[in-house]
């Protein structure tokens, strides 16, 4: 690959990271459990994943989570790790599946499996981390799984998956035109 193509790719990934960081401010409370906040910040991660592969999605995840947590002050190091684990798993699973066959059907399957993976990872992370770092009793975390933790993560990941599905093709055309011009 030539250096111009690499610059276009890095610039695109940097822009998607920046968009993710801005979208974290457009959050609103989850209706069933207002302590949880929903935002569209994972959509640019999934766009990077579909456009450039799972490692690019993972890179945008780590960079955006770092900026959101430590520069913008939106989270702690524990939240940073949970964010990277959950969104990173979503991106890697979705990216690996979509990379094999870039069709709408494959995209839907990749997003569904990514959503389920993120939900499972967050349930496990909450089960392990909440008692250790947030002082919650493990029984309290278990009691929140079905009414709050699992529905929130399914909803958050599911909405982000649906938004990604509908905007990716339009955005990918712009990304790939820029790539083609750089080759």
The predicted structure's pLDDT at residue 72: 87
Residue 134 DSSP class: S
Q: Please identify every stretch of the chain with a pLDDT value under 70, giving residue numbers as ranges.
A: 1, 181-183
- Sequence-ordered alpha helix ranges (H) in the chain: 3-23, 42-52, 54-66, 77-100, 104-133, 138-144, 150-182
The predicted structure's pLDDT at residue 39: 93
Residue found by looking up tokens 């610059």 in the block:
7
Give the pLDDT confidence of 44-64 residue by residue, as tens digits.
999 999 999 999 999 999 999
Cα distance between residue 178 and residue 158, in whole Å: 29
Per-residue CA distances from 106 to 50, 75, 110, 112 (Å)? 11, 33, 6, 10
Q: Give me 121's structure tokens.
A: 């990872």
Cα distance between residue 91 and residue 130, in whole Å: 24
The predicted structure's pLDDT at residue 182: 61
Give the pLDDT confidence of 17-47 residue by residue, as tens digits.
999 999 999 999 988 778 888 999 999 999 9
Fold of 3-25+40-182: Arp2/3 complex 21 kDa subunit ARPC3 (1.10.1760)
């Amino acid at each position: 690959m030539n250096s111009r193509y690499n610059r276009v790719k890095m610039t695109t990934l940097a822009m998607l990271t920046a968009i993710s960081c801005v979208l974290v401010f457009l959050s609103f409370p989850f209706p069933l459990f207002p302590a949880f906040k929903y935002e569209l910040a994972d959509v640019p991660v999934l766009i990077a994943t579909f456009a450039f592969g799972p490692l690019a999605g993972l890179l945008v995840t780590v960079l955006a989570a770092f900026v959101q947590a430590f520069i913008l002050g939106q989270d702690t190091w524990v939240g940073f790790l949970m964010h990277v684990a959950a969104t990173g798993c979503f991106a890697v699973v979705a990216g690996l599946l979509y990379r094999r066959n870039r069709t709408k059907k494959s995209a839907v399957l990749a997003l569904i499996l990514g959503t389920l993976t993120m939900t499972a990872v967050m349930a496990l992370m909450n089960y392990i981390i909440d008692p250790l770092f947030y002082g919650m009793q493990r029984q309290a975390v278990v009691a929140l799984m079905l009414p709050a933790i699992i529905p929130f993560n399914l909803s958050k990941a599911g909405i982000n998956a649906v938004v990604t599905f509908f905007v990716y093709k339009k955005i990918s055309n712009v990304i790939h035109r820029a790539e083609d011009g750089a080759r």
